[in-house]
Amino acid sequence: MGIGIGAGLGLGLGTGAVAGIGWVYSSILLDPTVRPIYPERVLAADRDTVTLVANRLTRQPGIWGLRWADGLAAVGPVVGGDRHRVVRELRGGPVPPAGTEAVLDTGPYDPDPGALGLAFEAVDVPGPLGDYPGWVVPGGDQPWVVLVHGRGGTLREGLRILPALHGRGHPVLVASYRNDEGAPPSPDGHYHLGDTEWADLEAAVAYVRGRGADRVVLMGWSMGAAIIGAFLDRSPAADRVAAVVWDAPLVDWRATLRQQARNRRLPGQLSPLAGAVTERRIGIDFDRFDLRRRPPAVRPPTLVVHSTADTAVPPWTSRSLVAAAPRLDWPMRLVEVPDVEHTAAWNADPAAYERTVTGFLDEVLG
């Protein structure tokens, strides 16, 4: 999840200017339009390696997609470089030409489960606003898993974990929600930050129950966790959830907005103002999205994975929630992953991440 507002705004702004910036900040938060950004530059590449301009992001460990305007390649660990260059393994896909503008993408796979050798069915899930596209990957006799991507994400976000879930015998629905590509738009054209999208998840759960699911596992990234949290609090179907897995979960919107404002060196008074503007514009109550103080009505066993270098959703919110879990009567476990950014815990060490998720499911599902 990212909110792109120019950095370095002065602190001596008048009330009207601050209010105007608060409105702009709110608008960017609520805007579902995806604008590709390619902040990295390829210096050289061949069939074995790719050399990128060195920075904090291009030095991240692990396995990534390198995406540019008309291509995607899988890149592996750092194998060389200096203060100015980072050399990484090139593990598959086209070779990007020198000078290509690109981005390190958490998803090294395209375009669907077939890229992983998995049979799948493209489906339309009936929901409150129309039909929502999704992928069904058949499995064995384990509970169905419904995957929920984050803000600005796509179905591709679920591809990384699919082989591990499939190997454990889970049928999986990779679900979409309003404002996704191919899905119905929200009536006002805005994200509602989980406050309405939970009803789309409810429709996804109804869909898999219609295909024979008795119990379900929910897994969500970033805002996907906020959607799941609202579902657990508001849906009569929440009692069918056997387990939850959250990756970099958004469990406190106000804390996340404060972090985003600090990232961009915005005036300190802007974050609460932008939050108040957002609450009025979409009718959301951010108090309901502080899960430490307002836990959901249904609290199944939950695994929380969060990277310690996450600058989008502050890791301390996950630590605080898990610390409060005994008081909340919420079986919960936290696994922290160092050195990578938002929702990139899998990328840091795919095998370790998959063992963590499947080991948790072994324990709570039997």
Same domain, 210 and 162: yes
In the prediction, which pLDDT does 15 show? 58
Same domain, 45 and 172: no
What type of residue is 250? L
Main-chain phi, psi angles of 134, to 5 degrees: -160, 175
Same domain, 246 and 272: no
Within 13 Å, how many C-alpha atoms sit on residue 79's CB side?
12
Sign (positive or negative) of CA dihedral 290, 221, 197, 276:
positive
- As given in the structure block, the two tokens for residue 154 are 């796509």
In the prediction, which pLDDT does 352 show? 98
Q: Any long-range contacts for 320-326 (C-beta under 8 Å, 24+ apart)? A: 320/292, 321/249, 321/251, 321/252, 321/291, 321/292, 324/292
CA pair distance 282, 292, nearest whole angstrom: 23
In the prediction, which pLDDT does 63 show? 98
In the prediction, which pLDDT does 79 show? 98
In the prediction, which pLDDT does 19 show? 64
- As given in the structure block, the two tokens for residue 305 are 């994975």
Q: How far from 187 is each of 178, 182, 282, CA to CA, in Å?
A: 9, 15, 11
Host domain of residue 68: 40-105
pTM: 0.94
Q: How far from 272 is each of 22, 158, 253, CA to CA, in Å?
A: 9, 33, 11
Task: Among 105, 132, 157, identify where a domain stops.
Answer: 105
Same domain, 153 and 201: yes
In the prediction, which pLDDT does 25 show? 82
Same domain, 76 and 169: no
CA pair distance 332, 231, nearest whole angstrom: 18
C-beta of residue 91 within 8 angstroms of C-beta of residue 74 = yes
Same domain, 16 and 94: no
3 state DSSP class of 289: helix
Same domain, 131 and 207: yes
CATH number at residue 127: 3.40.50.1820
**pLDDT in 10s for each residue of the chain, 366 residues:** 443 333 333 444 555 566 677 788 888 899 999 889 999 999 999 999 999 999 999 999 999 999 999 999 999 999 999 999 999 999 999 999 999 999 999 999 999 999 999 999 999 999 999 999 999 999 999 999 999 999 999 999 999 999 999 999 999 999 999 999 999 999 999 999 999 999 999 999 999 999 999 999 999 999 999 999 999 999 999 999 999 999 999 999 999 988 888 887 777 677 888 889 999 999 999 999 999 999 999 999 999 999 999 999 999 999 999 999 999 999 999 999 999 999 999 999 999 999 999 999 999 998
Task: Among 285, 302, 335, identify where a domain stops.
Answer: 285
CA pair distance 287, 307, nearest whole angstrom: 25
Same domain, 228 and 165: yes
Same domain, 233 and 264: no
Task: Among 63, 85, 105, identify where a domain stops.
Answer: 105
Same domain, 175 and 260: no
Same domain, 247 and 259: no
Omega before 350 within 30 of 0, i.e. cis: no
Same domain, 86 and 142: no
C-beta of residue 141 within 8 angstroms of C-beta of residue 216 = no
Please give the tally of structural domains in the chain. Answer: 3
